[in-house]
Chain A
C-alpha cells in the first residue's frame, strides 16, 4: 500500500535528516513566497527555469560522465569554443539558417567530446587531469578562432531566444525535452544500463563484456554536444561570445549534479529529477541572495556550504552502506 509506505517514510528520522538540505530550501522558498508574493508569480517562476537552462544542459552530459566515475572539467571551454565557432560561421556564411549553424556547433562539441573520451578511456587516469588540460588548451584555441577577445553576435541570433509559447521561451521546452530523452535513455536502454555498470565497478563491467572504452567515448561525446548547445544558448542570451564565457562553469554544474543526487563515485544518480532539481536549487539560492541584497561575494560561500552539507550526508550514507 503506497499510503502506508509514505507514512512510514515520513515518520522515519532518517528521511528528515538525510534530506535536510532540500527541506531547508523548500522552507526558505515558502518563506520568501510569503514575504513577497511576486516571488512566486508566473514571470518569476519562468525566470527560475530560464536561468537554469544552461546548467541543466551541461548537467545532462556531466551527469553521464559522473555516472561512469569520471568528470568533464572542459565543459566551460567547450561552451566558449562552440560560441566563437558559430560566430565565425555566421560571419563567413551570413545566409546560413540558424538551425544549420546550431547543428555545426553541436558537431564541433561532438568532436571535442570524442577527443576527451578517447583520452580518458585510453589513458585510464582519473578524468580530472586530462579534461583539465583540455579545458586549458581549448580556451586558447577558442581565442585563436575568434581573433579577438569579444565577439558580438549578429542580430539574427536573437531568433534563438525570442521564440516562446505562452511567454515560456522555446529553449526551455527544448532543454526539458532533452532531459526526458536522456533519462529514458539511461533507464530503458542497454547502453544506459552499461553506463551505470561501468560506474559501479569498472573491472566487473569489463569482465561482463561491456566495452568500457565505447561507453567512455559515448558519455564524453554527449557531454561535448551538450556543452556546445549550452555555449550556443549562452551566446544567445548575452548576444556575445566573450573570452570569459563559461569560465568556472564546470564546477557549478558538478555542484548542481551532486546536489541533485548524482554520486561522485559513479553508478548512482538521475538527470530527471536529479540534475534539474540541483540546477533549480542553485538558481534559487542566487535569486534569494540577490533579493536579500547579500554581498555578491557571499554567493560562493553559500554555494559551498550548501553542497558541503549534501556531500557530508552523502558520505555518511556511503559509509553506513559499506558497513
Chain B
C-alpha cells in the first residue's frame, strides 16, 4: 500500500506538470494557424512559404533589475512579434551559468537567433561560440563583450558620450544656480558590468579635467536597497557636504529621493540645498523628476529603439544572411541630453513607455 501510494502521488505530480506545460504548448499551434493566412498574403516577400512556421528568436536577459532592462526586453520582444516571429524569453537573474544553459535550450528549441543582454560579458562568449557552431546568430544588446570573435553583431550605447554630457550638465547646472565649487557623489553600477565600468571611468576623466571634485563613490551593484544603505553611509562619510550627484543609471533617482525626503532635503532647483542630480537611461519616472525640477538632467538612452533594432537585425541576418565584420560589428547609439526644457518631448522613449 505504501509504495503504491508513493508511486501514485508521484504520477500525479508528473501529470500536473505536464498539464501546466501543455497550457503553454497549445499557443504554438494556435498562433501558427493564424499566421498562415498572413504569410500567404506576404508570400512573394518570404521564401519559406511552405510550413507556417514562425521564425523563433531567443531573448536572453541576463539581468532584470531596472526599467532599462525592462524597456530593452519589451523593445526586442514586441518587435519580434510585430515582424511575424516568435520569441523565447528567459531571465537569468545575474547568473552566468543559468544564462548559458538557457541559451543552449533556446538553440535546442529551434531559435535561429539569440538577442542577449549578458549577465557576464566574458562568460557569454562561450554561449556565442555555441550558437555559432550550431548556425544560430548571436546579437548582443547594450552589454558588449571585449571578445567579439563569435558574436555576429553588437548594439550598444556610447558610454563615453553619455558620461561626458552628464559631466557637462553638472558644470552647467552649477553655473545656473551659482555654486562655485562642485562636490559630487558618484554612484557606480556594478563592477561586473562593462557599461558601468565605462560610465564610471569616463565620468572620472571628465571630472578630473573640469574641476568636479568627487567626494565619495557609492557602489550600488545595480541594487536599489544596497544603494540606499551605502548612500546613507556615504553621506555620513562626507559629513553631508556635497551638492551634486552622478548616477550611472537613473533608477537611482528614486532611492535618492527617498533618502533625501527622510532628511527633509528633497528640494527643487533654486531652493536652498538643492543638489545637481544627473543620470543616464531616460526612464519614465526619472523624466518626471526632471519635469518637476528635483533632478537636473538625464542622458536619454533609447532602450526601446535598441531592442527594436536588435530584433530587426536578427531577422535581417536570418533571412538575408547579412554579415558584419571587424569594426562594423559594433554599432553605437548616441544619447541625447534631457533637461527640464525638453523633458516633455513626446519622441523620448520614456514618455511613451508604460511603467
Question: Using a CB–CB distance below 8 Å, which chain A residues touch chain B?
Answer: 38-39, 43-44, 47, 50-51, 148-150, 152-153, 158, 161-162, 164, 169, 234, 236-240, 242-246, 286-287, 290-291, 296
Q: Cβ of A44 and Cβ of B236 under 8 Å apart?
A: yes
Q: Cβ of B255 and Cβ of A239 under 8 Å apart?
A: yes
Which of B47-55, B146-154, B158-166, B226-234 participates in binding chain A? B226-234
Q: Contact check: which of A38, A153, A158, A245 meets B225 at CB < 8 Å?
A: A245
Apart from A51-B232, A149-B70: 10 A-B pairs, beta carbons within 8 A:
A150-B66, A150-B67, A162-B262, A169-B262, A237-B258, A237-B259, A239-B254, A243-B64, A290-B237, A291-B236
Q: What's the least CB distance linking A131 to chain B, in Å?
A: 19
Those of B174-221 within 8 Å (CB) of chain A: 219, 221
Q: Cβ of A287 and Cβ of B66 under 8 Å apart?
A: no
Q: What's the least CB distance linking B222 to chain A, in Å?
A: 8
Question: How does the 8 Å CB contact mask read for B56-72 relative to A, with 1 for contact and 0 for none?
Answer: 00000000111101100
Please name all residues of chain A whose beta carbon is closer than 8 Å to the beta carbon of B67 when the two chains form the complex.
Answer: 150, 152
Q: Does B30 contact A (CB under 8 A)?
A: no
Assembly CA distance A37 to B69 (angstroms): 43
Assembly CA distance A51 to B227 (angstroms): 12
With A150-B66, A162-B262, A287-B236 already in contact, the answer to whether A244 and B254 are too (CB < 8 A) is no
Q: Cβ of A149 and Cβ of B64 under 8 Å apart?
A: yes
With A161-B258, A290-B234 already in contact, the answer to whether A238 and B227 are too (CB < 8 A) is yes
Q: Cβ of A162 and Cβ of B261 under 8 Å apart?
A: yes
Q: Cβ of A38 and Cβ of B223 under 8 Å apart?
A: no
Q: Does B239 contact A (CB under 8 A)?
A: yes
Please name all residues of chain B whose beta carbon is closer than 8 Å to the beta carbon of A234 when the two chains form the complex.
Answer: 225
Q: Cβ of B262 and Cβ of A242 under 8 Å apart?
A: no
Can you list 5 A-B contacts with CB-CB less than 8 angstroms, sorted by A residue number? A47-B232, A150-B70, A161-B258, A237-B259, A244-B225
Q: What's the least CB distance linking B169 to chain A, in Å?
A: 23
Assembly CA distance A286 to B258 (angstroms): 21
Closest 3 CB pairs of A and B: A149-B64, A238-B224, A290-B233
Q: Cβ of A150 and Cβ of B65 under 8 Å apart?
A: yes
Q: Cβ of B261 and Cβ of A161 under 8 Å apart?
A: yes
Please name all residues of chain B whose beta carbon is closer than 8 Å to the beta carbon of A286 when the two chains form the complex.
Answer: 229, 233
Q: Does B285 contact A (CB under 8 A)?
A: yes
